[in-house]
Amino acid sequence: MNHYSRRSFLHNAALGSAALLGTPLLRCTASRRASLPNVVIIFTDDQGYADVGCYGAQDIDTPHLDRMAREGVRFTDFYVAQPVCGASRAALLTGCYPNRIGLLGAPSPQATHGIHADEMTMAELLKQNAYRTAIYGKWHLGHHPPFLPTRNGFDEYLGLPYSNDMWPGHPEVGDRFPPLPLIENEKTIESNPDQSQLTTRYTERAVRFIKRNKARPFFLYVAHSMPHVPLFVSNKFKGQSKRGLYGDVIMEIDWSVGEILQALETHGLSEKTLVIFSSDNGPWLSYGDHGGSAGPLREGKGTVWEGGVRVPCMMRWPGALPAQSVCRQPCMTIDLFPSIAEITGAGLPTHPIDGRSIWPLMKGDSAAAPPHQALYFFWERQLQALRSGRWKLHLPHRYRSMQGQTAGSGGVPGKYVQKETGLELYDLEVDPGESHDVATEHPEEVARLLAIAGMINEELGDNERPGKGCRPAGQI
């Protein structure tokens, strides 16, 4: 079956299942399209939990992000599915744990795999209702033609196919990488582009896309390449932050958010547009002054400690979401896919996904039930931790740490040390920094969480065995 026919099959299957299950799928008539909300997701790269004013940043000004929090919902316990670039994005766009769909880690330019044609992306979900779709920024779900955004539901694409450090300028392993391509749709238009202009270029494209599609529903995914190292910023923000270059970069991202919000206001779209802001994982701590901050949270990117997997998240939709509200329920990026399906009336795919709709939480329903029995944190194929309510259980595993190490500076990283953790339990309501193991004090919670861990290992596998619910990645 060719790529197009597989996509058509998935589309028709979703429509059919929605009808059979009584889902309020909206017909794509002109009048119905006019009532559908727009969806904007702004996703940054390696931005730490405490790199936004409303999450505790003291030395970086983020007025537009803080405005989003004032005018909408701020999530205090929002997570990514894996604390690394590609896997995190796969979860966001499919509603699945990366292990379920075979997209782990951060694929390099030498990788031959990518998102499978049978998976449904958020763009394809919204195509059911004739949305216009665009991504400007980092993709990282496969750089070969079958895996590119334009083969996976997006009408437009401008950006980098993988991380901006996968280029000859890498300070340690630059000789491994070919020139960094800037791709428009499916064509490389520049090699080793001027990265100081990427945030501006993505933003300008986003603003033009909003203007062109103001009369029809659209899905806009702005996946900034920054603040992933190497850091670059345009001249208009250079030297503007008390935090040095990293702070300058965050301020430019905040400016970008402001430009998008202003474009929505200019075209009278604010009250019919859901805007979501988040990050793909925690800060890259080994880079020191070129990395972000997790604030009180432990560790950072590449670990399943809170600093690696808990990220800032704000949502704004005037008239639909309550202003100045805070959600403290644990949620994850995988929940955005089914939430947007519920909001727009789109049919979910027939294959299993892992996310659950958090639309009631977004609306401020204080009586809403927790969406998950537990959230799971894998590193590659190994389940390393899970959270259920206030409790987080770490399973024995090795992890990289910067505790006690000298962080890097000027774009050159420091060295991690390898550490090990045993079976440890933390009460995140009183100890979000995971500093006091209470496993011996709550053996019943340890036993309960171990039983849940065993069930998810059956479904999604581990280092020793494949899971019965796993699907393969695409291969060229």
Active site residue 331: no
Range in 22-31, 330-339, 374-383 with the lowest mean pLDDT: 22-31
Pairwise CA distance, residues 337 & 427, whole Å: 29
Annotated catalytic residue within 11, 64, 85, 327:
85
> Which pLDDT belongs to residue 23?
45
Q: Per the residue annotation, which of 140, 224, 290, 394 is the catalytic one?
A: 140
pLDDT in tens, 133-180: 999 999 999 999 999 999 999 999 999 999 999 999 888 887 889 999
The residue type of 425 is L
Amino acid at 202: Y
Contact by Cβ (8 Å): 414, 407: yes
Phi/psi-derived region of residue 451, left when phi > 0, alpha when psi is between -120 and 50, beta in every other case: alpha
What pLDDT is recorded for position 172? 81
Question: What per-residue confidence (pLDDT) applies to 175?
Answer: 85
Q: Residue 309 is which amino acid? A: V
Q: For 83-106, what is each residue's pLDDT tens digit?
A: 999 999 999 999 999 999 999 999
Alpha-carbon separation of residue 439 from 141, 374, 453 (angstroms): 38, 17, 16
Give the model's pLDDT for residue 29. Answer: 64
pLDDT band with cut points at 50, 70 and 90 for residue 5:
very low
CA distance 283 to 290: 10
Instruction: Please give the pLDDT value at position 171.
Output: 81
Query: CA–CA separation, 283 vs 79, rounded Å?
Result: 13
| Burial class of residue 463 (count of CB atoms within 10 Å of its CB; 0-12, 13-18, 19+) | exposed
Examine the pLDDT at 114 and tell me if it is beyond 50: yes
Return all residues near 201 (Cβ < 8 A) that are at least 6 apart: 136, 158
What rounded mean pLDDT belongs to the chain? 94
Q: 190 has which bridge partners? A: 182
Tell me, letter by letter, the H, E, C secondary structure of 289-350. HHCCCCCCCCCCCCCCCHHHHEEEEEEECCCCCCCCEEECCCEEHHHHHHHHHHHHCCCCCC
- Cα separation, 54 vs 116, in Å, equals 38
Which run of H or E residues covers position 20?
helix 3-21
What is the rounded distance in angstroms from the CA atom of residue 180 to the CA atom of residue 317? 36
Lowest average pLDDT, out of 80-84, 185-189, 364-368, 449-453, goes to: 364-368
C-alpha to C-alpha distances, 463 to 57, 113, 378, nearest whole angstrom: 38, 19, 11
Task: Please give the average per-residue pLDDT across 417-437, as a whole number.
Answer: 99
The distance of Cα 167 from the centroid of its chain, to the nearest Å, equals 23
Q: The whole model's pTM is what?
A: 0.94
DSSP3 helix / strand / coil % (the chain, rounded to 5) = 35, 20, 45
Q: Say whether 96 is catalytic.
A: no
Contact partners, residue 32, CB within 8 Å, separation at least 6: 26, 129
CA-to-CA distance for 452 and 446, rounded, in angstroms? 10
Helix H or strand E segment including 382: strand 382-388
Distance CA 356, CA 328 (A): 16
Residue 325 bridge partners (DSSP): 73
Structural contact between residues 383 and 462, judged by C-beta atoms closer than 8 angstroms: yes
Instruction: For the chain, list the domains and their CATH numbers.
Output: 3-362 (3.40.720.10), 375-475 (3.30.1120.10)
- DSSP symbols for 236-252: TTTT--TTHHHHHHHHH
Over residues 280-329, the pLDDT tens digits come to: 999 999 999 999 999 999 999 999 999 999 999 999 999 999 999 999 99
Could you tell me which of 46, 43, 65 has the C-alpha nearest to residue 314?
65
The pLDDT, as a whole number, for residue 31 is 66
Q: Is 58 exposed, middle or buried (0-12, 13-18, 19+ CB in 10 A)?
A: exposed
Please give the share of the chain, as a percent, with pLDDT higher than 70. 93
Q: How does residue 126 score in pLDDT terms, banded at 50, 70 and 90? A: very high
pLDDT tens column, 17-71 = 444 444 444 445 666 777 899 999 999 999 999 999 999 999 999 999 999 999 9
Lowest mean pLDDT of 13-17, 36-40, 356-360, name the range: 13-17
Give dist(CA 442, CA 426) in Å, integer.
Answer: 10
Q: What angle do CA 156, 228, 354 make, to 5 degrees?
A: 65
Asked whether the beta carbons of 123 and 153 are under 8 A apart, the reply is yes
Q: Left (φ > 0), alpha (ψ -120 to 50) or beta: where does 203 sit?
A: alpha
Q: What is the reported pLDDT for 406?
A: 97
What contacts 112, CB < 8 A, 6 or more positions away?
A: 144, 475, 476
